[in-house]
Amino acid sequence: MRSHTLRVLVLLALAVASFQVVFQPVRLDGWRPVGQPPQPRLRLGLDLQGGTRIVLEAERRPGVEVTADKVDAAMRVIENRIDALGVAEPLLQRQGPDRIIVEFPGLQDPQRAKELIGRTALLEFVDTDHQSLPRGAEWLPDNRRVRLPDGQVVPLPKKVVVTGADLRDARAEFDQQSLQWLVRFRFVGEGAKKFEDHTGRSIGEYLTIVLDNRVLSSPVIRARIPGEGVIEGSFTADEARDLAILLRGGALPVPVRPVEERTVGPTLGRDSIDRSLRAGWIAAVAVVLFVTAYYRLPGFLASVSLSLYALLVLGLFAALGATLTLPGIAGLILSLGIAVDGNVIIFEKLKEELRAGKTLRAAIAAGWRRGLVTILDSNVTTLVGAAVLLWLGTGPIRGFAVTLTLGVLASMFTAIVATRWLVELCADLGLAHNLARVAHLPRRPEVAA
Amino acid sequence: MKAWDLMGNRRWLYLLSAGIVLASVVAMAIQPALGRPVLNWGVDFTGGTLITLRFQDRTVSTGQVRAALRPLGLGEAIIQKVQETGDVSVRTRHLEPEERRRLEQALRERVGPFTVLSVDDVGPKIGRELRNIAILGVAVGLALQVVYVSLRFRSVRFALAADMALLHDLLLVLGVFALTRATVDSSFVAVLLTVVGYSINDTIVVFDRVRENLQLRTRETFPQLVNRSVLEALVRSINTGLTTLLAIGSVYLFGGPTVRDFALGLTVAVLTGGWSSVGVASPLLVDMTLWAERRAGKAVVQPAAQPARAAASRRRA
C-alpha cells in the first residue's frame, strides 16, 4: 500500500503555499496572522499596468571616460532627482556597462520626469570679466567660444570659478520685490571660500551662471558674497523648482542620453490585463474540457494537476519577484500547452500498454517510464531555447523566457509526479475500471487487479 | 483500420513541403516588387518613434493627422487607424524629446484633444542591437539543440533531419509574416524561438518513437518502421497541437490587438511544427538512412539500437 495520505498532503501543501504566495489571503501583522481578501499580488510589467520605461546611455565624449563606477554614481544622482519629484516606486537598474534603465510605473505624463533625469546639470560660475552674456548663450565644446542666441559666435574662454559640486543647498523662492521666481543657493567648505574670494576681488565685473554650458544669468557682482546667492533667470515656478532639484542632487558624472523609451498609458494597460485574463480563462476551460472529454477520468485527473501547475508557476513567479509582462503571459499560455503535452504523451503510452494486455498497475508503471524519456528529451530542447533567450534577451523577450522556463519546469513536475500520484490514488480507490476506459477497451477482468 | 503508408509515398510529402517552402520564398520575394520591404519591420528593429493616440473625437481621419504633421517636416510619417477602436498610430523616425513635444502640441492644436495610449521610441543603435540578438539567439539556440539531439540519439542524421524540418518551419513563418504584413517587433524574436522550440520538440517525440521501435524489432524495413512510428505518435501530435492551439487561439481571439500578431506567429509555429515532423523530418530520416546503407553496401545497424539488437540475437541463439 502506498502512502497516499502523504502524497495528497504534499500536493495540497504545494497548492496552498502557492496560493498564499500569489494571492496572499493571510498576511502577517508582526507575528499575528491577519486575513485579507485574496487577490493576485504579482508585480505587473509596465505594459500591463501602464507607465514609462526609459533607457539612458552614457555618452562617450572625448576627454570623458565612461566607467561602471561613474554610471553607478550617475544612477544615484538620478535616483535623488526622482525622489525629489515624488514619483511612486521608481525602479532603476544598470544594464551592461553604460546603460541605466529607469521605470516609472503608473506615471501619466513622463515629460517632466524625463527632462529632469536626462539633464547633466553641471552648474558653473564663470568669470566673464566685463562681459555680460544674455540668457541662452552657449559655450561651444572647446570651451573657448560662445554662441550667442542670435547665432553669432564670439571668442570667450570659460574661466570657471567654482562648480555646483560644492553646493550645499538650493531651493526655489518667489521674490516679492521683483515678483519673480529664483533659486537661492548656499556653498560650503572650499567652494564657499573660493566664491567669497572671487566676489571680493571682482566687484563690478560679471559672474555668469552656466548650466550645462548654457547661460542662465549673468549678474554683476555688487559686493563680496559669503557663499550664498541667488540665480535669476525669469523662471516659471516649475522651472525654478526643477532647477533647485537638479542643483541639490548634483551633476551627473557622465552625460547621458535617452536611447529608448516606452510608454503605455493606463487605459491600454488596464485593457491588456482584462483581455489577457479573459483569454487565459477561456484557454484554461477549453483545455480542461478537451482533455477530460478525450481521456475521461485520467483526463480529469490531468486537469486537476494542470490547476496545480498553474498555481505552481504563478507561485514560483511571485516567489522569485519576477515581473509579469504581456509576452510573459504568452509564455505562460504556451507552457500550458507543454504541460498538457506531458500528460497526453503519458496517456498515449498508457493506452498502448493497456491494449497490449498489461494490468492497469503494470501499464501505469510502463507508461510513465517510457513517457519520462520522451518528456525529458522534448522539454530539454525547449529549455535550451528558453535559456538562450534568458541569456540574450532584454525586456519583453526576457519576460517570455522566464515564464516559459518556469512553466516547463512546473509542467514536468505535474505531469511526471502529480498526475501519476493522482492516477495511482484512484487505482487504489477502486476506480480502476474508470481509469482503464482511457484505452477505449471493453472491460476485462485482469484490469481490475 | 488500414495503416497509411506515408513513408512509402514520401515523394508526395516532399512535394507538399517543397511547395510550402517555395510559396514562402515567393511571398517574401514579391514584396520588393510591390514596393515594400520583405518584412514589415517594427520600430524595435529599425529605430524610430511609434505613438498611439486616442482622440476624443474617434472619427479623426489619418488625413487630418498628416496635415497637422506636415509643417513639422513629418509628412512622411506612417499614419494608421485601428478600425475596431478608432485609435490612431503615428510612426516617424526617431524623435528627440523636443521634437516629440512639438508633435503632440501640433496634434492637440490642429486636430483635437487626445490621450496617449503608448509610446515606443527606439534609438537606431538599439534597433541594430536587437537585430543582432535575434540572429545570434536563433543561431545559438539551433546549434545547442543540434548538439543535444545528436547526443541523445547518438546519430547526426536525426539532428540533421530535425533541422531541415526546422528550416522549413522558419521559412514558412517568415513567409506568413511577409504576406500578412504583421509587424515584426521584438516579440517576433520570441515567435522565432517558439518555432525552434516547438518544431524540435514535436520532431523529437516522433523520433523518440523511432528510437523505441528500433530497440524492439528488427524484421521491418527502416521505412516501414519510421512509418509505424509516425502513425503511433500521430494521436499525441494532434491532441497536443489541438490543445496548444486552443490556448493560443483564445489569445488570438480575445487577447486584443496588441498580442494578435504574436498569437498569429505562435499559431503558425504550432501548425507547421506538427506538420514538418511528418512531412519533412521523417522522410528525410528515411532517405538519409537508406543512402547511408547503400553507401556502406550493407544494412546499416542503427547505433542507438545496438544493445537491444545484441540482446535479441542472444535470445534467438
Q: What is the CATH number of the domain that holds A383?
A: 1.20.1640.10
Strands (E), chain B: 40-41, 48-55, 78-81, 88-92, 114-122, 183-184
B234: chain A residues, CB-CB within 8 Å: none
Verify that A393 and A244 share a domain, yes or no. Answer: no
* Residue B24 C-alpha, separation from nearest chain A C-alpha, in angstroms: 24
Least confident of A345-349, A390-394, B172-176: A390-394
Strands (E), A107-239: 123-127, 138-139, 145-147, 153-155, 159-163, 167-175, 180-187, 207-211, 214-217, 228-235
- Grid look-up 512535394 returns B15
Angle at A127 between CA A123 and CA A133, to 5 degrees: 80
Of A249, A226, A343, the closest CA to residue A290 belongs to A343
| Helix, coil or strand: residue A162 | strand
| pLDDT reported for residue B218 | 67
Instruction: Locate B186 and state its grid cell.
Output: 521584438
The pTM score is 0.76
| pLDDT reported for residue B279 | 93
Instruction: Assess B152–A contact: CB distance below 8 Å, yes or no.
Output: yes
Tell me how far apart the alpha carbons of residues B230 and A96 are, in angstroms, rounded to a whole number. 47
Query: Could you tell me if residue A118 is inside a domain?
Result: yes
Verify that A402 and A355 share a domain, yes or no. Answer: yes
Q: What is the dihedral of CA A433, A437, A440, A443, to 10 degrees?
A: 10
Verify that A233 and A301 share a domain, yes or no. Answer: no
Provide the 8-state DSSP code for A61: B
Domains in chain B (CATH in brackets) are 10-35+126-316 (1.20.1640.10), 48-122 (3.30.70.3400)
Of residues B255 and B238, more confidently modeled: B238
- Helices (H) and strands (E) counted in chain A, each on its own, are 12, 18
Instruction: Assess B4–A contact: CB distance below 8 Å, yes or no.
Output: no
Verify that A245 and A309 share a domain, yes or no. Answer: no
Instruction: Locate A227 and state its grid cell.
Output: 557663499
Verify that A134 and A164 share a domain, yes or no. Answer: yes
| pLDDT reported for residue A448 | 40
Verify that A295 and A185 share a domain, yes or no. Answer: no
B201: chain A residues, CB-CB within 8 Å: 338, 341, 378-379, 381-382
* Residue B294 C-alpha, separation from nearest chain A C-alpha, in angstroms: 30
Verify that A283 and A199 share a domain, yes or no. Answer: no
* Cβ neighbours, 10 Å, residue B115: 15
Residue A27 has pLDDT above 90, yes or no: no
Nearest by CB to residue A260, choosing from B121, B240, B248, is: B121
| Helix, coil or strand: residue A324 | strand
Query: Could you tell me if residue A353 is inside a domain?
Result: yes
Instruction: Assess B29–A contact: CB distance below 8 Å, yes or no.
Output: no
Domain boundary among A218, A245, A263: A263
Where does B111-155 have alpha helices with state H?
124-153
Across the interface, whether the CB atoms of B253 and A279 are under 8 A apart is answered yes
User: For residue A440, what are the domain limits?
Assistant: 4-41+265-448
CA distances from B167 to A70, B163, B171, B181 (A): 45, 6, 6, 21
Q: Identify the sign of the CA torsion B151, B152, B155, B161.
A: negative
- Residue B48's region, left for phi above 0, alpha for psi from -120 to 50, else beta, is left
The nearest alpha carbon in chain B to A391 belongs to B137
Mutate to test the interface with B, among A267, A397, A405 (most CBs of B within 10 A): A397
B266: chain A residues, CB-CB within 8 Å: 330, 334
Residue B96 has pLDDT above 70, yes or no: yes
Verify that A370 and A419 share a domain, yes or no. Answer: yes
Q: What is the dihedral of CA B156, B162, B163, B167, to 10 degrees?
A: 160
Tell me how far apart the alpha carbons of residues B144 and A388 are, in angstroms, rounded to a whole number. 9
Across the interface, whether the CB atoms of B254 and A344 are under 8 A apart is answered no
Verify that A169 and A305 share a domain, yes or no. Answer: no
Instruction: Locate B287 and state its grid cell.
Output: 532517405
Query: Could you tell me if residue A46 is inside a domain?
Result: no
Confidence tier at B175 by pLDDT (50, 70, 90): very high
Residue B310 has pLDDT above 50, yes or no: no
Confidence tier at A327 by pLDDT (50, 70, 90): confident
CB B180 within 8 A of CB B264: yes
Most confidently modeled range among A273-277, B125-129, B198-202, B265-269: B265-269
Verify that A22 and A126 share a domain, yes or no. Answer: no
Tell me how far apart the alpha carbons of residues B243 and A290 are, in angstroms, rounded to a whole number. 7
Domain count, chain A: 2
Most confidently modeled range among A115-119, A354-358, B17-21: B17-21
| pLDDT reported for residue A446 | 45
B135: chain A residues, CB-CB within 8 Å: none
Query: Could you tell me if residue A394 is inside a domain?
Result: yes
CATH number of the CATH domain containing A157: 3.30.1360.200
Verify that A273 and A381 share a domain, yes or no. Answer: yes
Query: Could you tell me if residue A306 is inside a domain?
Result: yes
Domain boundary among A242, A263, A284: A263
Verify that A107 and A120 share a domain, yes or no. Answer: yes
Tell me how far apart the alpha carbons of residues B176 and B169 are, in angstroms, rounded to a whole number. 11
| pLDDT reported for residue A229 | 82
CB B223 within 8 A of CB B286: yes
Domain boundary among A239, A263, A287: A263
